[in-house]
């Protein structure tokens, strides 16, 4: 096991590594458009603030609750106005678009809006929205909500948005003037190093059933819910999806840079808001002791989306650099698990989209 993936490595990075703040002196996002999901609070909010400080011209806040999204929009613009001393120059266009990651139809509607909005050329998307629940809670789909949001729905977002970014990029190249060459778009997915620690017993339980059942069915069984492992497992499933997704992309015709970013363990977000009482107090104290602020963690999201570049396509990033994969995912057993879980994802989404058809779309 590499040091990066040990508990000691985790603590070392948390206590002694601080991701660098990207500044306007090194990066300008003037003329660019970005989308950030889960952007009304926590990492998504602070990433949005940092992106606007870099001169981003158009920002789409993709949120479940548009009322909270509008409050975030007002706060972001007020903060930007303060930082520019009220100059009012080159004010960005900040929009709030609804998307509910517990509702497949909402995700498809959001993707269609990105595709169909006139004159929209998205340069990057940060898929940041996520949840952590320490009590069993079903989503409207019937799937447990952490699995639904962090794995199934984030996967659907990535699958549907990637060819849209590709098509918009091709169109931008066709209409480019004065020798301007657009940069390849980026689809940056927020993962987590906690995938390394997932127990993921549900896979073994599913295989040992009489007859064997699906892993999704076991994950949706309230009696088999493991609150301490569920978030970790959801991030492992997302990581397995990412690797299988990359393997299945039409590499000869794909220009979209897709990477997976670990922001580190952060305090100040609402991710663990379901932990209450004495346990919540202890957990909150631990986050304060070893956690990064969401402002610092958000720097990694900004780096992955607008700095890292095409050389990070297919890579896992941590602390603003390419990092080694979690041990399990690069083993033969991990690769087999990725294949199996892709099949289950395919079955889950069969009534929503034709995954194979969408994956083959080249944007031409």
CA 229 to chain centre: 19
Among 7, 42, 243, CA closest to 132: 42
Contact assessment for residue 156 and residue 104, using Cβ atoms and an 8 Å cutoff: yes
Give SS3 for 82.
Answer: helix
Is 235 an active-site residue?
Answer: yes
Phi/psi of residue 259, nearest 5 degrees: -135, 165
Is 231 an active-site residue?
Answer: yes
Is 318 an active-site residue?
Answer: no
Rounded Cα distance, 344 and 203, in Å: 12
Q: Is the peptide bond before 211 cis (omega within 30 degrees of 0)?
A: yes
Among 61, 60, 56, CA closest to 38: 61
Rounded Cα distance, 230 and 198, in Å: 8
- Sequence-ordered strand ranges (E) for the chain: 33-37, 58-63, 93-98, 124-127, 186-190, 257-262, 266-267, 292-293, 316-318, 321-322
User: What is 293-347 written as a DSSP string?
Assistant: EHHHHHHHHHHHHHTS-GGGTT-EEETTEE-PPPTGGGSHHHHHHHHHHHHHHHH
DSSP strand pairing (316-318 vs 321-322) = antiparallel
Selected catalytic residue, list 49, 53, 153, 192: 192
Selected catalytic residue, list 45, 104, 169, 231: 231
Q: What token pair was written down for 139? A: 């989503």
> Residue for token digits 């986050």?
287
Contact assessment for residue 39 and residue 61, using Cβ atoms and an 8 Å cutoff: yes
3-state secondary structure 245-295: HHHHCCHHHCCCEEEEEECCCEECCCCCCCCCHHHHHHHHHHHHHHCEEHH
Selected catalytic residue, list 188, 235, 267, 316: 235
Give catalytic residues, as residue numbers: 192, 231, 235
């Amino acid at each position: 096991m590499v040091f990066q993936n040990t508990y000691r490595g985790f603590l070392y990075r948390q206590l002694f590594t601080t991701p660098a703040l990207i500044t306007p002196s090194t990066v300008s996002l003037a003329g660019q458009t970005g989308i950030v999901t889960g952007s009304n609070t926590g990492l998504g909010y602070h990433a949005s603030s940092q992106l606007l400080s870099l001169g981003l011209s158009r920002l789409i806040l993709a949120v479940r609750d548009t009322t909270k999204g509008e409050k975030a929009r007002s706060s972001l613009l007020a903060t930007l106005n303060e930082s520019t001393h009220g100059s009012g120059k080159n004010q960005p266009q900040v929009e709030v678009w609804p998307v509910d990651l517990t509702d497949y139809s909402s995700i498809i509607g959001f993707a269609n809006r990105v595709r169909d909005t006139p004159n929209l050329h998205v340069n990057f998307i940060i898929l940041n929205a996520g949840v952590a629940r320490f009590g069993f809670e079903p989503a409207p789909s019937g799937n447990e909500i952490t699995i639904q949001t962090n794995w199934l729905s984030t996967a659907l977002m990535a699958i549907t948005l990637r060819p849209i970014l590709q098509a918009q990029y091709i169109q931008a190249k066709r209409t480019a003037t004065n020798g301007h060459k657009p940069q390849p778009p980026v689809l940056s997915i927020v993962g987590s190093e906690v995938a390394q620690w997932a127990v993921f017993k549900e896979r073994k339980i599913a295989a040992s059933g009489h007859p064997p059942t699906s892993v999704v069915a076991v994950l949706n069984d309230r009696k088999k819910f493991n609150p301490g492992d569920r978030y970790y497992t959801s991030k492992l499933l997302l990581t397995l999806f990412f690797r299988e997704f990359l393997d299945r992309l039409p590499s000869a015709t794909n220009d979209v840079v897709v990477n997976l970013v670990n922001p580190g363990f952060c305090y100040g977000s609402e991710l663990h808001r379901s932990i209450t009482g004495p346990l919540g107090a202890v957990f909150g104290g631990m986050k304060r002791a070893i956690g990064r602020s969401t402002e610092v963690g958000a720097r990694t999201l900004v780096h992955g989306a607008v700095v890292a570049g095409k050389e990070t396509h297919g890579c896992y990033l941590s602390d603003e650099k390419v990092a080694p994969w979690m041990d399990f995912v690069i083993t033969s057993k991990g690769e087999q698990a990725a294949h199996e879980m892709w099949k289950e994802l395919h079955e889950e989404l069969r009534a929503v989209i034709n995954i194979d058809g969408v994956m083959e779309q080249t944007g031409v």
